[in-house]
Amino acid sequence: MTIFSKIIKGEIPCNKVLENDEFLAFHDINPKAPIHILIIPKVEVQNFQQVTPEIMAKMTSFIQEVATLLGLDESGYRLITNNGDNGGQEVMHLHFHLLGGAKLAWGHLADSDSKNFF
């Protein structure tokens, strides 16, 4: 079981932004931007490569709702999902990083410091 499954079950607390029956959005514990939200499905899906189009369709609407709730629909944001080892995925439960609140830098992502380029 991943740490995100424990958050879904309420065994570990989170700083919640929005929740419905199928998805949960909460603040990243180690933010890489002024606003850094993680958005996850409650069903166990390992990563983007494993997700079905049906779940993604509903997740897309939920992500858009979170962005609007935080005013990021107007100011802009970056949406990232790390997939697998080379993608830098650390928690093996599908999650999207929603980053905003400032103009975000963009750099080459193939070095060991890539997390600083969010």
Catalytic machinery residues: 95
Burial class (CB in 10 A: 0-12, 13-18, 19+), 110: exposed
Which is closer to ligand AMP, CB of 74 or CB of 113?
Answer: 113
Shortest spacing between CB 39 and ligand AMP, in angstroms: 11
Q: How far is the CB of 88 from ligand AMP (least distance, A)?
A: 5
Binding site for ligand AMP (CB under 6 A): 3, 12, 14, 28-30, 38, 82, 88-91
Tokens of 70: 């935080």
Alpha helices by DSSP H, the chain: 3-9, 53-69, 72-75, 84-87
Give min distance, CB of 13 to ligand AMP, in A. 8
